[in-house]
Amino acid sequence: MALSASGPAPVLSKHDIHVWHATLAATPENLAGAAQMLPEAEREKTALVASEAQRARLTLSRAWVRGILARYLSQPAPEIAIRRTPKGKPQVATESDKDAPLQFSVSHAGDHMLVAVTRSDDVGVDLERMTRLADAERIAARFFARPEHDALLALPADQRADAFFRAWVRKEAVVKALGTGIATAFDAFTVSLGKGGQQEVDVTGITGADRQRLWVQLLDIGRVDYLAAVAYAHPDSKVTYGEWQ
């Protein structure tokens, strides 16, 4: 069942992952409402951005994150306290130990964004716009693990761009789940270039003994020019998708 932005608050069990899509296309109406969802400090910080388009995008992005999180919490969006874990990943700061803290991951591409929410650990979401790519092989040679690069070159030339994006979006989701950077981590693990579902990923090349594996899957967000993936810590996680705005 798809998530709904209206009605009763969604139930988020321990290994559930909810992925919300929202638009970043600004209108006077949604900007006015979004600004009211931000705490004063964030509104003041956003006002310092010189570009009007970037201010609008930042306002909507931050507001939609808070609005989505508020669906799971008994507090208004502006009052939600967001902190960073030691790895730099965002989570909701709570004073209660009743529930595990909300972990979330955010990704933007074009006029779209995704927000993944869970009470589990290590979640990462990525959204990519599939633009024309003339140098997929060169980029793969720089960033991909050798098996991925070899698999890409083994494909017919007209299939390589799509395969490249499928691998790239999976890898972005994995490193965001782990909180590591692209330059140091992308060639330390291998993902599939195919269209298949859930995939187990050995991440010991990044984490050592701290964590041995993650799981990653592609997401269908109903937009032909975009590709998305979510990575998570438990193979039995249930991923549910919904439209926010």
What is the pLDDT at residue 193? Answer: 97
Contact criterion met (CB below 8 Å) for 125 and 116: yes
Low-confidence ranges of the chain (pLDDT < 70): 1, 95-99, 182-183, 209-210
Going by their DSSP bridges, the two strands 16-23 and 238-243 should be labelled as parallel
**At 204, phi and psi to the nearest 5?**
-65, -20
Alpha helices (runs of H) in the chain, residue ranges in sequence order: 28-35, 40-47, 52-70, 136-143, 146-153, 160-178, 182-185, 204-207
User: 114 to each of 44, 102, 141, 203, how far by Cα in Å?
Assistant: 24, 16, 28, 24
What is the pLDDT at residue 99? Answer: 63
Fold for 16-125, please state it.
Ribosomal Protein L22; Chain A (3.90.470)
The DSSP 8-state label assigned to residue 72 in this structure reads T
What is the pLDDT at residue 2? Answer: 78
> What's the angle, vertex CA 207, arms to CA 192 and CA 241, rounded to 5?
50
Show the 3-state SS of 211-243.
Answer: CCEEEEEEECCCCCCEEEEEEECCCCCEEEEEE
Fold for 130-224, please state it.
Ribosomal Protein L22; Chain A (3.90.470)
What is the pLDDT at residue 157? Answer: 93
What sign results for the dihedral spanned by CA atoms 186, 187, 189, 194?
Answer: positive
What is the pLDDT at residue 84? Answer: 81
State pTM to two decimals.
Answer: 0.93
What is the pLDDT at residue 183? Answer: 66
What is the pLDDT at residue 170? Answer: 97
Same topology for domains 16-125 and 130-224, yes or no?
yes
Domain coordinates in residue numbering, the chain:
16-125, 130-224
